[in-house]
């Protein structure tokens, strides 16, 4: 356990941006995990809906670690590295061919959190940028595997909004990530694709 804590601490320090914020006091660090409900928006998916098709979400998991640094009273910077499963499902509605795409990302986030301490729980809200590095890409058309690795860009930039509550060393929250980058490698605006993700996350902070 001590080895895990040390490795996680070093990893999280690498995520904290240089500058005044990096010099603030470390509040906590730990692990985070949960479920993801992701889909995609943009020109391509607008066309799917226009012809009577349906855009369904992909359900997956998210796992990683975090470190939280004090910025001001009741305000902290939370640096995270998260492995997240993204994707989308397009069924055969409207006469379309069935299409599935699964994309894994490594999300590096810097989230500013504001807490509102109560007697027994600590509600909080947060927001901040995310930088996602693409891992694997798997595609299927009518149930047949296709190579989609050249169709998805390697980096996605987004913005996250979150809210939740904590008690002792555990907190539970909901996060929405809005992808701001067109992740399609195609220059055709009708092929535009942007990530959308809703996450239910549970965090555990190691005792210090």
- Here the tokens at position 37 are 């409900």
Higher-confidence position of 19 and 62: 62
C-alpha of 117 from chain center: 26
Residue 148: which CATH number?
2.40.160.20
Higher-confidence position of 190 and 71: 71
pLDDT of residue 1: 46
Q: What's the domain count of the chain?
A: 1
Phi-psi region at 68: left, alpha or beta (left = phi > 0; alpha = psi -120 to 50)? beta
Query: What are residue 190's phi and psi, to 5 degrees?
Result: -75, -5
Q: What percent of the chain has pLDDT over 70?
A: 88
Q: What percent of the chain has pLDDT over 90?
A: 59
- Average of per-residue pLDDT across 157-182: 95
Whole-angstrom distance, CA of residue 124 vs CA of residue 117: 8
How confident is the model over 99-126, as pLDDT tens digits?
899 999 999 999 999 999 888 899 999 9
Residues 6+ apart with CB under 8 A from 137: 101, 102, 103, 104, 148, 149, 151, 152
pTM of the model: 0.84
Domain that holds residue 40: 2-205
- Average of per-residue pLDDT across 140-161: 89
Asked if 117 contacts 144 with a C-beta cutoff of 8 angstroms, the reply is: no
Terminal alpha carbon distance of the chain: 13
pLDDT of residue 50: 83
Residue 2: band (very low, low, confident or very high) from pLDDT cuts 50, 70, 90: very low
Mean pLDDT for the chain?
Answer: 87
How confident is the model over 22-60, as pLDDT tens digits?
446 888 999 999 999 999 998 888 888 888 888 999 999
pLDDT of residue 154: 93
pLDDT of residue 11: 47
pLDDT of residue 13: 47
């Amino acid at each position: 356990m001590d080895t895990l804590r040390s490795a996680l601490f070093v990893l999280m320090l690498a995520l904290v941006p240089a500058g005044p914020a990096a010099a603030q006091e470390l509040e906590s660090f730990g692990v985070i995990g949960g479920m993801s409900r992701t889909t995609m928006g943009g020109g391509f998916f607008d066309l799917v809906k226009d012809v009577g098709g349906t855009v369904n979400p992909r359900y997956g998991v998210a796992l990683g670690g975090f470190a939280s640094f004090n910025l001001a009273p009741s305000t902290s910077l939370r640096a995270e590295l998260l492995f997240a499963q993204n994707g989308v499902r397009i069924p055969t509605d409207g006469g379309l061919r069935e299409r599935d795409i699964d994309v894994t990302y490594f999300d590096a986030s810097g989230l500013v959190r504001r807490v509102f301490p109560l007697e027994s729980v600590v509600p909080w809200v947060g927001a901040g940028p995310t930088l996602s590095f693409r891992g694997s890409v798997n595609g299927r058309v009518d149930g047949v595997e296709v190579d989609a690795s050249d169709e998805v860009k390697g980096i996605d930039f987004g913005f996250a909004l979150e809210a939740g509550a904590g008690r002792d060393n555990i907190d539970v929250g909901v996060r929405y990530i809005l992808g701001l980058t067109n992740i399609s490698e195609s220059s055709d605006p009708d092929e535009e694709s942007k990530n959308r993700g809703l996450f239910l996350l549970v965090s555990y902070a190691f005792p210090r």
